[in-house]
Structure 1
C-alpha cells in the first residue's frame, strides 16, 4: 500500500522472533504504541523483516495495518494476523495501539496456517493471549504455565480465518487504478472510465485484476471499502457517515455488503469491538 516509508517513525528491533527454544514454544511481547506521543502521523515496524519464529500479531486495542508480501490487512481488536516462520512482513500503527505479539517456535507451528492469515480472536483466545503476556518468557517445561501455552496453540489452530486480505498488483495499469482508489475509495467510476486512466480496455483491465489480485475489480473494491469501514468504525465514527463517504447510495446497501463479508452488521461489529477493547 503506497505510503511515505521514509517519514514513518520506526519501532526498535524485536529480538523475540529470533530466540529458538522448543522448551519455550510461545514467547510474548507487549508494547504500547502511540504515534501522537512520538509526534508521528503513523508508526512503522523496524523494517520489512523475517524471523525464524512464527508470529501472531494482535492488538488488544487500536488498529494495525499489516503487510505480508503484497497483501495488506487492516486489523481491528477482534482479529489477529498469523505470520508463519520466515515470512517477510511489516506492521504500521495509524493510532494508539496496545500491541500483544506472540512468537511461536518452529517446533510448535504444526497445524497453523502456512501463509499469512487473519484469524478471528474469540473471547477465550483473547484471554489466553493476555495470559501469555502475563506469564512472560521464563516458564518451565511441563509446568502449569507451559500447559497454558499448549492450550493457546490449540485455540490458534482452530481459529477461524477472516476475508480481510487486500492484495496488491504488479502490473502498472492495475496499480494506477489501485493507487487512485486508495486515495479516494468512494470513487464509483466503472471499468470503462478506469480503463482510460489505466491505459487498457475495460475487458483487459477486468482480466488483469483477476490475474494480478485473485479478485474481480468489484470484489477488490468491495474489500477496500471494507478495510476503510473497519478503520473508521474503530475510530468511533457513525455508520451512516461512513456509508455515504464510501460511495454507497443507501445505508441499507452498505449494511448488506458489510454483513455478507463479516456476518454481522457494522453497528453490531462496532459494539463487539468496543466490548473486546474495554
Structure 2
C-alpha cells in the first residue's frame, strides 16, 4: 500500500501501519483477510491523494469523515462508511475531529467485486465486529468466522454525494470562500456582485459553467456539508438549520432529503 512522505509508522496487531492506519508500502498483506487500522484526523486536516493495493473500508467511529475520489466527495457520519476498491486514488479528511478505523481487505481473499467507491451502511453489528477484529488476541478460527460475517454485513445504501466544487473565476471564488466561512449568509448574487465587482449574471454563469450547478444549488450543498459534522456531533436539527441559513427545520430537512436522498434522521441513525 502507498503512504505519504513524512508519515510516521507504528505497529498494530503485529503489522506496520502509518499514523493514518494505512499499511506501510513494501510490507505486503498479512495472512488475515481483514486488517483493522485506527487513525485520528484533526479539524480541517487532509491526508493527500494516495491509493492502496488492498480494498479499504473508510469509517469514522466518532466525527464525520470526508473522502474525495473520482471527482466526488462523500461526507460520512458513523452510520456510514465508504468502500474504496484497490487502486482507486483518493484523499481523506475531516471538517472536525475524527476518530476513525479503516478495514483493509486482501483482494485475493475478498468476494466483493465493486469497482467504484460505494457507500455502506454501518449497523450496530458491524460496529461491534470492527472492534472485535481489532483485537490482537483473536485465534485464527475466531478471526475467520468474524471476517465472514463482516463481509456479509457490507450492504450498499442509496445516498448521493454532497459535492460543492469551487468555481475557477476569481470573483466567484471569493463568493464561494465567503459562503464556506458563513453558509448562513443569504445575500443574493446581485448583492455579492456589488462586493466582488461582477454582475449577477456573470456570477451565475461562472457557477453554472464551472461547478455544474446553479448558485442556489451550490450554496445548498455547502450548507449541508457544514451541517453534517454538527448533526453527527449531536446538535439538533433546529439548531443546525438556523446556523446554516434555513428559516425552519422543515426547510432544512426538505433540502437534505432532496440532495442526499434520505432525511437527516435516517442518514445519522446507527
Structure-2-length-normalised TM-score = 0.72
Q: Which residue of 1 aligns with 2:186?
A: 188
Give the C-alpha shift of residue 55 in structure 1. Answer: 1.8
The corresponding residue for 2:173 is 175
Q: Do structure 1's residue 88 and structure 2's residue 85 form an aligned pair?
A: no
Cα distance change of structure 1 residues 215 and 60 upon mapping to structure 2, 3 Å threshold: same
User: Is residue 55–residue 82 contact of structure 1 (8 Å, CA) maintained in 2?
Assistant: yes
- Post-superposition shift, 1:22? 8.3
Query: How far apart are the structure 2 equivalents of 1:248 and 1:208?
Result: 25
Q: Describe the superposition over 1:161-211 as per-residue Cα deviations: whole angstroms up to 9, x where unpaired.
A: 422432423623443332121111011223344455566654554454344
What does 1:103-252 align with in structure 2 at a 5 Å threshold?
A: 103-107=104-108, 108=110, 110-115=112-117, 117-134=118-135, 140=140, 143=141, 145-156=143-154, 158-169=155-166, 171-173=168-170, 174-195=172-193, 202-203=200-201, 205-252=203-250
* Closer/same/farther in 2, CA of residues 224 and 45 from structure 1, 3 Å limit: closer
Q: What's the counterpart of residue 264 of structure 1?
A: 263
- Contact 2:66–2:94 (CA under 8 A) maintained in structure 1: yes
Number of residue equivalences: 249
Aligned equivalents of 2:37, 2:249: Cα separation in 1:
40
Partner SS state of residue 248, structure 1: coil
Matched with 2:12 is: none
CA distance in structure 1 between the aligned counterparts of 2:139 and 2:211, rounded to whole angstroms:
43
Q: CA contact under 8 A between 2:184 and 2:245: conserved in structure 1?
A: yes
8 A Cα contact 2:56 2:85, kept in partner: yes
| Partner secondary structure for residue 30 of structure 1 | strand
Relative to structure 1, the CA distance from residue 190 to residue 34 in structure 2 (aligned partners, 3 Å threshold; closer, same or farther) is closer
Equivalent-residue separation in structure 2 for 1:91 and 1:130 (angstroms)? 22
Shift of 1:28: 0.9
C-alpha distance in structure 1 between counterparts of 2:252 and 2:70, whole Å: 30
1:28: which partner in 2?
36
Assess if the C-alpha contact under 8 Å between 1:67 and 1:73 holds in 2. yes
- 1:60–1:100 Cα contact (<8 Å) kept: yes
Gaps of 5+ in 2: 1-17
The whole-number CA distance in structure 2 between the counterparts of 1:184 and 1:121 is 31
Gapped runs of 5+ residues in structure 1?
A: 1-10, 36-41
Q: Which moved more, 1:62-71 or 1:221-230?
A: 62-71
Distance 1:215 1:81, change over 3 A: farther
Closer, same or farther: CA 106–232 of 1 in aligned 2, 3 Å: same
Cα separation, partners in 2 of 1:49 and 1:61, compared to 1, 3 Å? same
Equivalent residue of 2:50, what SS? coil
Please tell me whether the aligned partners of residues 164 and 222 of structure 2 are also in contact (alpha carbons under 8 angstroms): no
